[in-house]
Amino acid sequence: MTDRDNDACGCQEYNTLSRRHFVMNSAGAAVLGAVMPDWLPRVVLAQTASSRDIIVYVFMRGGADGLSLCVPWGDANYYSSRATIAIPRPDATGTVKATALDNVLWGLPPSMLGLLPAYQANQLLLIQGAGLTYSSRSHFDAMRFIEVGKAADPSISTGWLGRHLATVPPMKAAATLRALSISQGLPNALEGAPKALPIPDPANYVLGGSSTTRAARQAWLNSEYSFTEEPVRSAALDATATLALLSSLNINAYAPSNGAVYGNNSFGRALRSAAALIKADIGVEAIQVDIGGWDTHQTQNPLNGQMATLMTTFAGAIGAFWSDVLQGTGNYNVTLVAMSEFGRNVRENGSQGTDHGRGSCMFIMGKEIAGGRVYTRNWQPLARENLQDSQDVKVNVDHRDVLAEIVKNRLGNNNLDLIFPGYTPTFQGVTR
Amino acid sequence: MTGPTTRRSAIAAGVAALVAATAPRRASAQGSTRPKPAKSSRSAAELERLFTRMPASGPQLSAADTVPGTDNWTRPALRLARRITFGLTPAETQRALRLGYKGYLEYQLNHAALDDAAVETVVAANWPRVLQPAAQLVQVDQGLLYQHLTDAMLYRQANSPRQLYERMVEFWNDHFTIYFQKVGYLQITDYRDVLRANALGNFGTLLKASAHSPAMLAYLDNNVNRTGSPNENYAREIMELHSLGVDGGYTQRDVAELARCLTGWTLNAQGAFTFSASQHDFNAKTVLGVTIPQRATNSGQGQQDMEQMLDVLIAHPNTATFIATKLLQFFLRPDPSATQVAAVANAYTKTGGDIKAMLRVVFTESWMTAAPAKFRRPHHLMVSALRAGGAVISPSAASLSTMRGYLTQMGQVPFDYETPEGYSDRVEYWSGNVLPRWNVMSGIASAATGQFVVSDATFTRFGSTASAILDSIDLMAFGGEMSSRTRGDLTTYLTAGTINAARIRETLALALSSSAFNWY
């Protein structure tokens, strides 16, 4: 490798960390060599003992309707506001109805039952009425402000995850790839991250053309780009190193644990790849995955239509990820966060859909997450007088309170003033 | 919506320091073990003869280019040709060298004199939707319309002799960007009747055409901007992104007042512009210090509010400065000097917004020869590679889905940028996604059959020895100015195995992937 690896951090924690990893790697290789799973043919499995979590950040693009994701079945206002698109109460007759998450108010829609095991294991937390406190109903502004980590500040363009990674030593000193987005381009949240790449399909990240000459062409490009201008040089060298790294894994043959089934859709495949990369223990510490399609202005149908299909995909893959990576005694430290840029109006519109609103529901999953509950702050019944602008779920939990607590307590980074500039977070007890 | 400089520009100082601390060091040639360049079978003098009237010795160029492989870019006319075209072809290289810097610039500026009938015949035969009026498009499948819009654009960029004109259409297509998924068929008329119609014309005419464009009004929500419930989206963006610039001296109050001027500017069901007096706010307004009087609701004068303000925006000195800066950044350098901006802005003011007059200043020869190389955006890279390879796009294929797929892989899907600042022109925005660029170059270089074809004969125009093949690649991709180091590295690859069609095409793919081709 190049001298770049020594630039990251000169601090004591870095040195301790890298030494420990080196030791663990050597020991791990000796012990585990014989029982290596065949999807990891050439990678040494190290059971890292870092106390820091890897973060999987799921962005639900389009403005996901929090009241369909986490159903307030105990609130009559919900049913009076949603004549055609409400999820029936758990005690309703019929089979298509909410499953209670507590005794009085909250439930999961039938399409989201894939999340129930994680919830019942107290490792899944739902935060209702969360989001961006800055008032915006523009998808693009709201997404950008959330991903940047500060609203309406043109002087900041890097993302909160990018700044987190830039201000913490790598989990593995020699990591080739510290962060990736499973997408065509790097999302705003990861901008500014060192060793971060957009990789649309980690299972098929290869240099095209003849496989016979691939290695030679890759070497040629690596040499060519080692002389070129920044920032292209770094990105190119990260790409060639990642090509070698990912080709040493066989993600296509990856076999999830505990019979987990991700679903053969782009979101399911993305989380499956994320699980494979985490288990490969190659030093990836942040993975962003997008799931779009939540902009349900028309025929939302969260029971058996458009939104139900999407929620099945969403919950199925995240539930599979829990079974695969977090369930049982596996030693993978991961926090998963799923959120949207905003929720939708409490009252349905004239086309059996909902228009852009404010507060939505965040999903936080992990072994050290204080889960098994629906967390709210100052929640009030959804009567018109209690709503934001008389129409929306209020944002009573700032998303930065949630993310900052995770950054500090689970990702081991105290630089909250750099990650969420100009904001003093109030922790909400998201982590144990 | 915030502005173009807000999306990915500067970062907070403390963070900048930290990010900088972790950023890799600048590439250094120290410790280089580059192979010695192979000797060309053709002397430089011989190559020059291939291009007919090559200047005997060009002026001393600046050492602005630290991009490897660009050290041999000694001919000013080719520097210009790289910037104002969608990539060199052997013919374009020859033309630029024959006409010289100023001659070639004028040749391209006088776009109407360049015969593009052959190209337009293909467009009309294969993608006729781009020639039809809105009323004829309103019922047509959006996927088909998108295909016609995009494929016609790609075909023209790759084949039209009017290269600077097509580059200016590209420039305005980012400046006045519109999201196809939001406006659909309306974008076909906007692209044709606003952008293409005025690309090398007058900026004021262009801005007015855009303001009356149903696609723009729908894209920026002015179709729901009504008295009593104003929508400020377009009012803000026309000042922030289209005319004055984000630092153009307007206030939030100006935005609100301009939004009131714009109330009632909407479109009808046939996709035509219409002014709806019943939706207009006829009360008095003050925008940018200009007072618009209250008018009678039956005066028939409501539309005049914005017409008057368009003239104010067009005549505003900050508009001259903003457009001058953007043109310089697009064509010359990311950091134009105050002197350069003032000179181009002065051309704007003196001519009342004549785009060609501004470009003549932008392309001042001494500025161009001192300008640093620029990183190609994915779209530009793809079309340049097609042109370098002499790719024959098959008109009978009718669908250029492979090219559209390439653009998706590289992250620059046409007419698909959602927010109104348009695709970034900054290297930092594009540099992360390198692998798809290499794969697309590989795909183009290996295209022996399909929607576009790079023929085997392309490589052997000078013979079939390794050296002759390198000469051919030099002419195709580098205008005969391939650096000795690039030549050496490519020769090493070409001669590492049996020289056959596959290896030759791989060598072209590497040439197209090299730094010297990815910068221009």
Residues 6+ apart with CB under 8 A from A211: none
Across the interface, do B24 and A223 touch by the CB < 8 Å criterion? no
CB nearest B27 (choices: A213, A221, A229): A229
Mean pLDDT of B34-55: 40
Q: Could you identify the residue written with the tokens 């209250």?
A: B294
CB nearest B419 (choices: A140, A225, A232): A140
How far apart CA B97 and CA B76 sit, in angstroms, is: 9
SS3 per-residue string spanning B15-70: HHHHHHHHCCCCCCCCCCCCCCCCCCCCCHHHHHHHCCCCCCCCCCCCCCCCCCCC
Nearest CA to A335 out of A260, A256, A278, A395 is that of A278
How many contacts, defined by CB atoms under 8 Å, are there between A and B?
165
**Residue of chain B whose Cα is closest to the Cα of A229:** B67
Contact (Cβ atoms closer than 8 angstroms) between residue A65 and residue A344: yes
Retrieve residue A422's tokens: 């100009």
Helix, strand, coil fractions of chain A, as percent rounded to 5: 35, 15, 50
Share of chain A above pLDDT 70, in %: 88
CB nearest B22 (choices: A144, A166, A207): A166
CB nearest A230 (choices: B5, B24, B435): B24
Q: Any long-range contacts for A258-261 (C-beta under 8 Å, 24+ apart)? A: A258/A323, A258/A324, A258/A327, A258/A328, A259/A323, A260/A320, A260/A321, A260/A323, A260/A324, A261/A316, A261/A320
ipTM score: 0.86
Q: What is the pLDDT of residues B145-187, one digit of tens each?
A: 999 999 999 999 999 999 999 999 999 999 999 999 889 999 9
CB nearest A227 (choices: B68, B510, B513): B68
**Residue of chain B whose Cα is closest to the Cα of A180:** B432
How far apart CA B107 and CA A85 sit, in angstroms, is: 63
Task: Please report which confidence band the pLDDT of residue B81 belongs to, taking 50, 70 and 90 as the band edges.
Answer: very high
How far apart CA A212 and CA A295 sit, in angstroms, is: 46
**CA dihedral angle for residue B190, residue B192, residue B193, residue B194, rounded to 10 degrees:** 60
Give the mutation candidate from B19, B28, B409, B493 for the A interface (greatest A CB count, under 10 A).
Answer: B19
Q: What is the pLDDT of residues A330-379, one digit of tens each?
A: 779 999 999 999 999 999 988 898 988 999 999 999 999 999 999 999 99
How far apart CA B293 and CA B392 sit, in angstroms, is: 59
How far apart CA B120 and CA B131 sit, in angstroms, is: 10
**Residue of chain B whose Cα is closest to the Cα of A184:** B411
Instruction: Name the DSSP class of A334.
Output: E
Across the interface, do B22 and A231 touch by the CB < 8 Å criterion? no
For chain A, how long is the longest CA-to-CA vector?
70
How far apart CA B496 and CA B485 sit, in angstroms, is: 17
Residues 6+ apart with CB under 8 A from B54: B48, B75, B97
Residues of B in contact with A230 (CB under 8 A): 23-24, 26-27
Mean pLDDT of B393-403: 83
Chain length of chain B:
520
* Cis status of the peptide bond prior to B334, with omega within 30 of 0: no
| B89 at A interface, C-beta within 8 A | no
Residues 6+ apart with CB under 8 A from A253: A38, A39
Smallest CA–CA distance, residue A55 to chain B, in Å, is 20
Any alpha helices (H) in B411-465, and if so which ranges?
A: 427-430, 434-445
Across the interface, do B15 and A154 touch by the CB < 8 Å criterion? no
Retrieve residue B242's tokens: 């289209």
| A223 at B interface, C-beta within 8 A | yes
How does strand A360-366 pair with strand A334-340? antiparallel
- Per-residue pLDDT 10s for chain A (432 aa) are 333 333 333 333 222 222 222 222 333 332 333 344 454 443 333 334 457 999 999 999 989 999 999 999 999 999 999 999 999 999 999 999 999 999 999 999 999 999 999 999 999 999 999 999 998 777 778 898 999 999 988 778 789 999 999 999 999 988 999 999 998 778 889 988 889 998 989 998 999 999 999 999 999 999 999 989 888 998 899 899 999 899 889 899 999 999 999 999 999 999 999 999 999 999 999 999 999 889 888 889 999 999 999 999 999 999 999 999 999 777 799 999 999 999 999 999 888 989 889 999 999 999 999 999 999 999 999 999 999 989 999 999 999 999 999 999 999 999 999 999 999 999 999 999
| B350 at A interface, C-beta within 8 A | no
Q: Name residues 232-261 of chain A within 8 A of B (Cβ).
A: 232-237, 239, 243
Q: Does residue B59 carry a pLDDT above 60?
A: no
Residues of A in contact with B5 (CB under 8 A): 154
Q: What is the pLDDT of residues A34-63, one digit of tens each?
A: 344 454 443 333 334 457 999 999 999 989
Taken in order B391, B393, B399, B404, the sign of the CA dihedral is: positive
CB nearest A209 (choices: B3, B19, B446): B446
pTM for this predicted structure:
0.78
Residues of B in contact with A239 (CB under 8 A): 434-435
Q: Name residues 165-184 of chain B within 8 A of A (Cβ).
A: none
CB nearest A194 (choices: B15, B22, B493): B22
Nearest CA to B367 out of B338, B341, B340 is that of B340
Across the interface, do A194 and B446 touch by the CB < 8 Å criterion? no
> Identity (one letter) of the amino acid at B472?
S
| Per-residue confidence (pLDDT) for residue B397, from 0 to 100 | 65
Contact (Cβ atoms closer than 8 angstroms) between residue B321 and residue B338: no
How far apart CA A74 and CA A23 sit, in angstroms, is: 54
Q: Tell me the pLDDT of chain A averaged across its residues.
A: 87
Residues of B in contact with A163 (CB under 8 A): 15, 18-19
Q: Name residues 110-169 of chain A within 8 A of B (Cβ).
A: 138-141, 144, 152, 154-158, 163, 166-167
